Amino acid sequence: MTFAQRKSGSTNRILEFVTMAPKYYTGAFLKFKAAKGLAKKLKHITMAGSRIAPSQTNKNDSDFQLRIDAGEMIGTKLNVYLQVNAQATGTLFKEWLRKKGTHANLATAVFDTAAQDEEEEKNRVLEELEAKGAEVLANL
């Protein structure tokens, strides 16, 4: 069961958005999920505000249109933020940027750095970010 399926209320609209989501949204998450070393990067991040993925280049920023930034570490839990890049060209992303700016969090999740299986934890966090971001964009 996915995070979106566990949510009550507007679950159907969110799931519909995820299944019908623009390619630029789903494409970014396919790239995040395929990124090598992302779990290790999440586990060993040391500074709040630093970029986790993708690495900061103009090409990555325009290709992904989204980024994952590190937040505060509380014990073994790392807050993780999904944000829209300034170079985003997707219609919904441009609307988000116009309303909220580049440093607003589209979604948040918590990565457990003490998790037994860091790949599984990474996948859980990405799924949660994707579902929460979809919920926000579906209600934009």
Q: In what order do the strands lie in the sheet with 107-112?
A: 51-53, 66-74, 77-84, 107-112
Sign, Cα dihedral of 108, 127, 135, 90: positive
Tell me the C-alpha distance between 138 and 133, whole Å. Answer: 8
Instruction: List pLDDT tens digits, range 46-86.
Output: 799 999 999 999 999 989 999 999 999 999 999 999 999 99
Structure confidence at residue 10 as a pLDDT band (50, 70, 90): low
Q: Does pLDDT of 99 surpass 90?
A: yes
Q: Does pLDDT of 20 surpass 60?
A: no
Which run of H or E residues covers position 108? strand 107-112
Question: Strand pairing of 107-112 and 51-53?
Answer: unpaired
Structure confidence at residue 23 as a pLDDT band (50, 70, 90): confident
